[in-house]
């Protein structure tokens, strides 16, 4: 398992330089609305006092896209970001993120071993990264550990469709056949973008991922699938002390 995880990380190192361009072309910018929704739901489900000095950790941050959305939406909502950290196992991705966001602190690490203190963050987010973590339960337990009581976990992820309908099959065809071709042309690395539909096919349905999150102790606040159920937004709260008594 460790070797396969390192192979995935190495693949992201290889495509880092073309990653942003490929994503913009392949998504047509449709992910922007999902990310905005994720930020606003997280903010609205935190205690008001937390919004005066917010601490956010973005896991599998890649080139920093989700961090940009956190900053933009916090500003729109007049929310003070005291700290925002980006963490990712790909050194090449982090080099690009640091150039884009020179004022942000970035750390190279895996989601299963976060160098963060217990109960130190109000929000933990991971956008399109959890399916790339092979030891998923260990990562979810780490998210639970670093979140403050009542803190919010945000997950945006491609999820597998169970008994897909016509529209979902059409979207599946696009993801499986067209996206790897576009990504391969832009990045000159077809193998890496062939991994995208393969990883979705091997991943969980939104129902199964939600079950895993509940088993770790997270309380679901919002779950919604977008774009013919190809992507799902999960917003969850860390089990509070009062609720465990």
**How far is Cα of residue 96 from the mean position of the Cα atoms in its chain?**
18
3-state DSSP assignment of residue 46: coil
- Specify binding-site residues for S-adenosyl-L-methionine: 63, 88
Mean pLDDT of the chain: 88
Which residues are CB-contacts of 194 (< 8 A; sequence separation ≥ 6)? 180, 184
pTM (predicted TM-score): 0.90
Outline where DSSP puts E strands in 185-230.
Answer: 218-226
Q: Are 64 and 86 in contact (CB under 8 A)?
A: yes
- Specify binding-site residues: 63, 88
Annotated domain spans of the chain: 2-164+204-239
Q: Report the distance separating Cα 223 and Cα 200, nearest Å.
A: 18
Average of pLDDT values for 115-122?
Answer: 98
Radius of gyration of the chain (CA): 17
Task: Express the helix, strand and coil content of the chain in percent, nearest 5 each.
Answer: 55, 20, 25
Tens-place pLDDT, residues 145-181: 999 999 999 999 988 776 767 676 676 676 777 777 7
Q: Report the distance separating Cα 68 and Cα 97, nearest Å.
A: 10
Domain 2-164+204-239 superfamily per CATH: Vaccinia Virus protein VP39 (3.40.50.150)
Residue 228 binned pLDDT confidence (cut-offs 50, 70, 90): low
- Other residues' Cβ atoms within 10 Å of the Cβ of residue 232: 23
What was the pLDDT predicted at 171? 67
| Torsion 34-35-36-41 (CA) sign | positive
- Give kind and range of the element (H or E) at residue 59: strand 54-59
């Amino acid at each position: 398992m460790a070797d396969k995880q390192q192979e995935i990380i190495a693949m992201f190192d290889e495509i880092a330089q073309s990653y942003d361009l490929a994503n913009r072309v392949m998504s047509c910018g449709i992910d922007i609305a999902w990310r905005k929704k994720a930020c606003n739901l997280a903010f609205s489900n935190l205690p008001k006092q937390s919004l005066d000095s917010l601490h956010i950790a973005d896991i599998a941050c890649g080139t920093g896209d989700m961090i940009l959305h956190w900053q933009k939406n916090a500003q729109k909502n007049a929310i003070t970001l005291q700290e925002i950290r980006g963490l990712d196992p790909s050194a090449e991705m982090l080099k690009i993120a640091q150039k884009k966001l020179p004022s942000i602190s970035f750390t190279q690490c895996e989601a299963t071993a976060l160098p963060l203190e217990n109960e130190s963050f109000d929000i933990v987010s991971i956008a399109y990264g959890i399916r790339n973590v092979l030891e998923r339960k260990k990562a979810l337990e780490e998210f639970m550990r670093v979140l403050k009581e009542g803190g919010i976990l945000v997950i945006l992820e491609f999820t597998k469709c169970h008994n897909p309908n016509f529209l979902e099959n059409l979207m599946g065809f696009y993801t499986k056949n067209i996206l790897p071709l576009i990504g391969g042309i832009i990045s000159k690395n077809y193998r890496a973008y062939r991994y995208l539909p393969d990883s979705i096919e091997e991943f969980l349905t939104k129902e199964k991922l939600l079950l895993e999150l509940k088993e770790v102790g997270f309380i679901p606040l919002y779950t919604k699938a977008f774009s013919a159920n190809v992507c799902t937004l999960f917003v969850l709260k860390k089990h509070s002390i009062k609720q465990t008594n």
